[in-house]
Chains A and B, each alone.
Chain A
């Protein structure tokens, strides 16, 4: 499936920000499940300093800075990308055997080693560990375990855009059983890591309008987040969206993957300003396929 993607993020600063500097992770990249036909990131006011690069995990980054104070900033993405179809096969070992398979993995960017331990925004949380254990069927494969935890979480949590914000830690969101895609993803990651499944945080886009006859998904109004989990050397990484309780298939375009939100934050910034800021997002992800 091919998509045209448009994203606009606006920031308004209460007071002019001196020497503002941001790292942006907004552009999708080629990967095993997707091909990027074209992509462009436009920034205004035009930064005095911009360097595009790739971070440790292979995500596209733009590091931008302004030398003069700015009152607002706008980031616009235009991209065309294709999500590849994928067979739903379970090639993963029993969950109990996953540890042995890990021994042969190194320190490369996609190695599961980076995704095993608690990370800055996703510590080990006992309540989530217990929840994940309880969600498992007897003797699951790794892939079955991912689905089981994701489905159980979807059943236990209520989508609520007002209950949490970007800084809410997963234990709080889990205690309230409410949150948005970021909370769903971070809680699921905590659960998967606790049962021995390496898991990472994926940011990206979700098709805006569902195919005819299917319900509209949660998370289409802004950038979306879901989970990537490592299911052994044969299966590799699988992606699951706990917010919508489904495998992240053809309706999804990946932008970045990391250990938690901190690694993939779309706009990570350092501003020197007396006041706070407001921000607005808008996203359109439209299929282009055969019919224009």
Chain B
């Protein structure tokens, strides 16, 4: 079925959709006919009332918000997280086009592997004059320590991405090879999830090729490479990376542990992960960290995110990496100038899929060509690895060098470090904007993974879309967006998911890296500390509202106590409170793969509300009410964690942090308010802040005294806020931890907790003098030392 623009009664949304002259378009062919692959989709789309369409787009966006999909924006200022900029309309590809692309990229992937093996092996391509030595020797991603190191898996490259575009004549060309640590495959999944919510109709969705099979293949391959009895994991640069969200997402999706460099140590040539159970051998890392940063000992010495000795483990052949260290060497733009020739040298034939025309200006003829044709050239660094059409780079014509040089002088001086690339015009694809479709430039990212039988490709999933008609700003950082790519089959494709339909089988137990345990513990502590601070501030402002007199002696005492904690109530919501919330959020950010997006939303909501309230709240009643709001918000997080989180070892560390902080907070408070010297009413404050007013009324015949405060807030095993209650919780939690002590014997940590527990149970309330309370606090601090020595190192 072929529909031409003229023949089709174009629906309103396509009114005014005019491809630019001389530019290929995804929706319409150059003869004005709609590409058949789009026809049924456009018909279905046109049948939707506009309000329905808007509701659908909102559904997709809601999905992304709920899932917490974000990317990180670097703007020179503070780091900001931005919502995922989904372009709602997918890019549709026919299976024929897709097959052509995959065929060409298969050849290219094999070619890249051969070049890589030569650069880190015999270097014959340079020796025989096919590749200039300086493009390798001066390439910062050519890692000399890797020369001669054979990958354990037998291959350097396992997971690749290619940035491709359609040129004006309708054919495809490669714009960039991503060999270092390609990102985006997880985002592709999220694109698909969101787009499926927008276009949930059985048709044409039933004809869209699924993505899950690619990931199943990839995971199977990883299992094969990892080796029996060894862990496999994703190695991330950490939460400051722009794609960290994707790392956590894909770790959860594939059931892989997410590790940072400091989780790993190398002992006797073996890579080990430090877990709460001890050291566990690692056989495979899917590396999302740039090669150069992987080992500060042999590679970039300033790296803070690497693992010292990792190179040694690779040299000993005890670790597989996806991809091998040093793979980034192939991303330099100058390689594009030589790959077509290298293809002839290595395979005897031409490239099936050309790459963007590139001239290395280190050669006189090429330099002259670039200079003469500067008006349609992007001039960039020869070693540049950024994607073409990233914001701000690639000035056409080379006029904008920062050196005040003419183009001729610039090329003459720095030619060996420059390339010219043809300023290709990319095809446009329909984007929905202000009620109608408009053409916008696009590139497609194609992901490939090596299997035992050759390269497998993810069928679609990821396209970058430009903000304006010109292809100068395709990067998300510059306001561009991202769309799903649908590869359309001729007949319905069977659904598939990552879940196998095999018989019931439990996964082997996961591991908890020591660093994650450490962060979860501190997350528990910070959230509890925040809650304690909110309760104290609420008590202060309630009393202020009641008395209306800031010089009231008890208020003065409360204010003094708050000041000692850095929470001086001169402003209703002190900065320290926001700092505490941020500390909790930072700890949480480092372990986002370990609890639900809902918990993360709850923490963000708390942070946002606290900041917002800080701007407008006044002292007294208003502030007390604000504190109640914050208490409810923080309870939302605690509730999610303690009611819904599975009781893995990670949950135990989070709970240990909470219990320890609560015990310490309570001891600090009774130190101040159960002091025999304290003002009248101090005991009431202790009980109120201890959230035990009702219980106190029920448990004791007389008004509060030092003894009742100690009895209820320190020694009462039934009161979930008492110190003893926390200690016995901690005992239970520790007993269930791995390595809690040699069989049948108590470990140092258990012994310390048991002693504390016993002392509190046998003491008379009157015995708990100020020095005893101080002693309890010190012993509690020792419990942390023991915990940290045993589990966090």
Flag the segment in B93-101, B296-304, B427-435, B474-482 that touches A: B296-304
Bound Cα distance A108, B127 (Å):
10
A244-292, CB < 8 A from B: 262, 265, 268-270
A65 with B266, Cβ < 8 A, contacts A106-B127, A268-B297 known = yes
Interface residue B134 (Cβ < 8 Å from any Cβ of A) = yes
Q: Which residues of A contact B300 (CB under 8 A)?
A: 120
Bound Cα distance A120, B292 (Å):
12
Q: Which residues of B contact A30 (CB under 8 A)?
A: none
A18 with B793, Cβ < 8 A, contacts A49-B267, A270-B296 known = yes
Interface residue B126 (Cβ < 8 Å from any Cβ of A) = yes
Least distance between A165 CB and chain B CB atoms (Å): 15
Q: Which residues of A contact B126 (CB under 8 A)?
A: 106-107
Q: Which residue of B lies closest to A20 (CB)?
A: B308
Query: Does the CB pair A55–B145 fall under 8 Å?
Result: yes
Q: Which residues of A contact B136 (CB under 8 A)?
A: 107, 113
Query: Does the CB pair A21–B308 fall under 8 Å?
Result: yes
Q: Which residues of A contact B298 (CB under 8 A)?
A: 23
Interface residue A105 (Cβ < 8 Å from any Cβ of B) = yes
Query: Does the CB pair B145–A116 fall under 8 Å?
Result: no
Bound Cα distance A44, B793 (Å):
24
Bound Cα distance A253, B485 (Å):
63
Interface residue A33 (Cβ < 8 Å from any Cβ of B) = no
Bound Cα distance A214, B211 (Å):
78
State how many residues of chain B have any CB contact under 8 Å with chain A: 26
A106 with B123, Cβ < 8 A, contacts A21-B297, A21-B308, A65-B309 known = yes
Query: Does the CB pair B123–A23 fall under 8 Å?
Result: no
Interface residue B659 (Cβ < 8 Å from any Cβ of A) = no
Interface residue B424 (Cβ < 8 Å from any Cβ of A) = no
Per-position contact with A for B117-161: 1 when CB-CB < 8 Å, else 0? Answer: 000000100110000011011100000110100000000000000
Q: Which residues of A contact B308 (CB under 8 A)?
A: 19, 21, 270
Query: Does the CB pair A107–B137 fall under 8 Å?
Result: yes
Interface residue A234 (Cβ < 8 Å from any Cβ of B) = no
Bound Cα distance A265, B126 (Å):
29
Query: Does the CB pair B137–A114 fall under 8 Å?
Result: yes
Q: Which residues of B contact A23 (CB under 8 A)?
A: 297-298
Least distance between A164 CB and chain B CB atoms (Å): 18
Query: Does the CB pair B145–A67 fall under 8 Å?
Result: no
Q: Which residues of A contact B296 (CB under 8 A)?
A: 270
Interface residues on A, range: 20 to 34
Interface residue A1 (Cβ < 8 Å from any Cβ of B) = no
Query: Does the CB pair B266–A116 fall under 8 Å?
Result: no
Least distance between B281 CB and chain A CB atoms (Å): 15
Interface residue B268 (Cβ < 8 Å from any Cβ of A) = yes
Interface residue B747 (Cβ < 8 Å from any Cβ of A) = no
Q: Which residues of A contact B134 (CB under 8 A)?
A: 113, 116-117
Q: Which residues of B contact A67 (CB under 8 A)?
A: 267
Q: Which residues of B contact A65 (CB under 8 A)?
A: 266-267, 309
Interface residue A158 (Cβ < 8 Å from any Cβ of B) = no
B280-309, CB < 8 A from A: 296-298, 300-301, 308-309
Per-position contact with B for A53-71: 1 when CB-CB < 8 Å, else 0? Answer: 1011100000101010000
Q: Which residue of A lies closest to B124 (CB)?
A: A106
Query: Does the CB pair A111–B133 fall under 8 Å?
Result: yes
Bound Cα distance A107, B136 (Å):
8
Query: Does the CB pair A21–B133 fall under 8 Å?
Result: no
A21 with B266, Cβ < 8 A, contacts A56-B147, A114-B137 known = yes
Q: Which residue of B lies closest to A263 (CB)?
A: B144
Query: Does the CB pair A105–B309 fall under 8 Å?
Result: no
Q: Which residues of B contact A107 (CB under 8 A)?
A: 123, 126-127, 133, 136-137
Query: Does the CB pair A56–B144 fall under 8 Å?
Result: yes
Bound Cα distance A57, B308 (Å):
20
Bound Cα distance A53, B265 (Å):
20
Bound Cα distance A9, B127 (Å):
42
Q: Chain A: interface secondary structure?
A: mixed
Interface residue B513 (Cβ < 8 Å from any Cβ of A) = no
Of the residues A53, A117, A269, A270, contact of B138 by C-beta under 8 Å: A117
Interface residue B388 (Cβ < 8 Å from any Cβ of A) = no
Of the residues B133, B297, B793, contact of A113 by C-beta under 8 Å: B133
Interface residue B397 (Cβ < 8 Å from any Cβ of A) = no
B239-287, CB < 8 A from A: 265-269
Interface residue A88 (Cβ < 8 Å from any Cβ of B) = no
Interface residue A86 (Cβ < 8 Å from any Cβ of B) = no
Least distance between B492 CB and chain A CB atoms (Å): 54
Bound Cα distance A191, B784 (Å):
55
Q: Which residues of A contact B138 (CB under 8 A)?
A: 113, 116-117
Bound Cα distance A105, B298 (Å):
25
Q: Which residues of B contact A120 (CB under 8 A)?
A: 300-301
Interface residue B60 (Cβ < 8 Å from any Cβ of A) = no
Query: Does the CB pair B265–A111 fall under 8 Å?
Result: no
Per-position contact with B for A18-31: 1 when CB-CB < 8 Å, else 0? Answer: 11011100000000
B291-346, CB < 8 A from A: 296-298, 300-301, 308-309, 312, 315
Bound Cα distance A107, B127 (Å):
8
Least distance between A123 CB and chain B CB atoms (Å): 12
A116 with B312, Cβ < 8 A, contacts A18-B793, A55-B145 known = no
Q: Which residue of A lies closest to B134 (CB)?
A: A113
Least distance between B338 CB and chain A CB atoms (Å): 15
Least distance between B351 CB and chain A CB atoms (Å): 24
Bound Cα distance A120, B302 (Å):
10
Q: Which residues of B contact A269 (CB under 8 A)?
A: 297
Bound Cα distance A55, B299 (Å):
12
Query: Does the CB pair B144–A117 fall under 8 Å?
Result: no
Bound Cα distance A268, B298 (Å):
9
Bound Cα distance A240, B568 (Å):
65
Least distance between A18 CB and chain B CB atoms (Å): 6
Least distance between B758 CB and chain A CB atoms (Å): 32
Bound Cα distance A189, B432 (Å):
57
Query: Does the CB pair B267–A63 fall under 8 Å?
Result: no
Least distance between A266 CB and chain B CB atoms (Å): 13
Query: Does the CB pair B144–A268 fall under 8 Å?
Result: no
Q: Which residues of B contact A105 (CB under 8 A)?
A: 133
Bound Cα distance A57, B147 (Å):
11
Bound Cα distance A120, B303 (Å):
13
Of the residues B145, B147, B301, contact of A262 by C-beta under 8 Å: B301
Bound Cα distance A120, B126 (Å):
24
Query: Does the CB pair A268–B301 fall under 8 Å?
Result: yes
Q: Which residue of A lies closest to B309 (CB)?
A: A21
Q: Which residue of A lies closest to B301 (CB)?
A: A262
Q: Which residue of B lies closest to A55 (CB)?
A: B145
Bound Cα distance A53, B297 (Å):
14
Q: Which residues of A contact B145 (CB under 8 A)?
A: 55-56
Bound Cα distance A48, B297 (Å):
17
Q: Which residues of A contact B127 (CB under 8 A)?
A: 106-107
A85-138, CB < 8 A from B: 105-107, 111, 113-114, 116-117, 120
Bound Cα distance A270, B297 (Å):
7
Q: Which residues of B contact A21 (CB under 8 A)?
A: 266, 297, 308-309
Least distance between B590 CB and chain A CB atoms (Å): 18
Bound Cα distance A70, B5 (Å):
77
Bound Cα distance A257, B296 (Å):
19
Q: Which residues of B contact A111 (CB under 8 A)?
A: 133, 137
* Cβ contacts A to B, 21 pairs, < 8 Å: A21-B309, A23-B297, A49-B267, A49-B269, A51-B269, A55-B144, A55-B145, A56-B144, A56-B145, A56-B147, A65-B266, A105-B133, A107-B133, A107-B137, A111-B133, A116-B137, A117-B134, A265-B301, A270-B296, A270-B308, A270-B309
Q: Which residues of A contact B (CB under 8 A)?
A: 18-19, 21-23, 48-49, 51, 53, 55-57, 63, 65, 67, 105-107, 111, 113-114, 116-117, 120, 262, 265, 268-270
Known pairs A107-B123, A120-B301 / 13 extra A-B pairs, C-beta < 8 Å: A18-B793, A55-B145, A56-B144, A56-B147, A65-B309, A67-B267, A106-B127, A106-B133, A107-B127, A107-B136, A116-B138, A117-B137, A120-B300
Q: List the 8 closest A-B pairs by CB distance, nearest first.
A: A270-B308, A56-B144, A113-B137, A117-B138, A21-B308, A107-B123, A113-B133, A106-B127
